[in-house]
Amino acid sequence: MRDLFDKIYRDKGPLGKWAEYAEGYFVFPKLEGEISNRMSFNGKDVITWSINDYLGLANNPEVRKVDAEAALKYGSAYPMGARMMSGHTDLHEQLQNELAAFVNKEAAYVLNFGYQGMVSTIDALVGKDDIIVYDVDAHACIIDGVRLHMGKRFTYKHNDIESLEKNLDRATKMAEQTGGGILVISEGVFGMRGEQGRLKEIAALKKKYNFRFFVDDAHGFGTLGATGAGAGEEQGVQDDIDVYFATFAKSMASTGAFIAGDKEIMDYLKYNLRSQMFAKSLQMQLVVGALKRLDMLRSDKSHKEKLWHIVKALQSGLRERGFDLGTTQSCVTPVYLKGSIPEAMALVKDLRENHGIFCSIVVYPVIPKGLILLRLIPTASHTLEDVSITLDAFSAIRERLENGTYKKMAASVMAAMES
Ligand SMILES: Cc1ncc(COP(=O)(O)O)c(C=O)c1O
């Protein structure tokens, strides 16, 4: 019999195999300094385009003050225990009420972590006779939630309504046999490519099919819609979303998350979300911080306006220079280039070391082989000067990618990796 760890000694996985060369620089980099448009990496100042602090609240002095005062008052332990047992407070309830009102739903439930909350919400909403139909490009937390499902599941092609309909037909036939119902899951904004989920078209299908609609709006909350209530508000279909999810880890620049919907459904979920029933409640310091951030989202539109000013300058600047941004319809700004993984590494090193630009790099297996995705996240804390420096840097690296400079550098990288 084999030792369980044998396979791990042999194969570190598609990303892990690059660890020796990539760790500390391309993966697990250490960005230092206060969270803002300019931070320090490897001892150098860089313009940071890789932090989901969309509204620039992470380092806002008013927010920091409230966070600090709450930490002083409550410490990081309070309340101890799961919500159901000993981890519930008036302020958790207040936050839920305010969040529900903000996203235009009857009720909300605060979650300690978004990922686990999503997994548990999917798990709690479906039984073995139910069928899940979800976008094939769904975030890992949706995939993991679906993995727990004991019944049937179908994926539809990314944002493809025809494919969704085909799968709704199949799901409907199957549900008629099992006696179950159908849950459709989409993201409000797909975080890698920046496309909005086609919530309006999906919602319209409710006239033809019987299903409930669950939207993970991690990137839409705070950034889209007239009031910032997200992709559902932006597309005018918030009422058709049966369960709405958003995390505090992006626009709210914190930790935690929430779901919102009809009161009866939220009441059911609060008694059935395993990741909340059997894990510690969101600590008070974060609850107080979330109340402050929500207040700022509601009362001060200038953060969102500033964000979009930067988004527009960055995206139109890149497009004017002929860069391929795919089909983004949000703040997420993907730049697609063609090249191998070693070329991508040489290019990113050049961007960071010689141009002072820090952005995330995504390669195969997350995207198809031969493509390099540089993902930029504009925020309200960026400036037009940051945009202008970045546009020049991108033009320079594209030229070097096209004239083979990185290919030559990549050859030496490969040789170093093989030696
Ligand atoms: C689409 C999406 N859903 C869920 C999550 C998980 O949220 P959290 O970081 O609060 O666990 C993320 C990442 O933050 C995300 O991008």
Q: Is 218 in the pocket of ligand 1 (CB under 6 A)?
A: yes
Ligand 1 contact, 188 CB (< 6 A)? no
> Measured from the CB, is residue 139 less than 6 Å from ligand 1?
yes
C-alpha 63 to ligand 1 mean position (Å) = 21
Query: Which letter, b or e, does each residue of 196-227 get, where b requires 16 or more Cβ atoms within 10 Å of its Cβ?
Result: bbbbeebbebeeebebbbbbbbbbbbbbbbee
Burial profile 241-275: b = 16 or more Cβ within 10 angstroms, e = fewer: bbbbbbbbbbbbbbbbbbbbbeeebbeebbeebeb
Map out the domains of the chain with their CATH numbers: 14-48+302-418 (3.90.1150.10), 61-299 (3.40.640.10)
Ligand 1 within 6 A of 187 CB?
yes
Say what the pLDDT of residue 22 is: 84
Q: Which residues of the chain have pLDDT under 50?
A: none
Minimal-distance CA residue to ligand 1 atom 14: 249
> Is-contact 261 243, C-beta < 8 A?
yes
Q: Is 215 in the pocket of ligand 1 (CB under 6 A)?
A: no
* CB of 114 shorter than 6 A to ligand 1: yes
- What's the 261 CA to ligand 1 centre distance in angstroms? 19
pTM for this predicted structure = 0.96
Determine the pLDDT at residue 413: 65
Q: Which pLDDT belongs to residue 260?
A: 98
Cβ burial of 2 (10 Å; 0-12, 13-18, 19+) is exposed
In this predicted structure, what is the pLDDT of residue 418? 57
Q: 44: which 2 tokens?
A: 């150098």
* Residues 276-298 pLDDT 10s: 999 999 999 999 999 999 999 99
Please tell me the predicted confidence (pLDDT) of residue 417.
58
The predicted pLDDT at position 248 comes to 98
pLDDT tens per residue across span 370-412: 999 999 999 999 999 999 999 999 999 999 999 999 999 888 7
Whole-number pLDDT of residue 188:
98
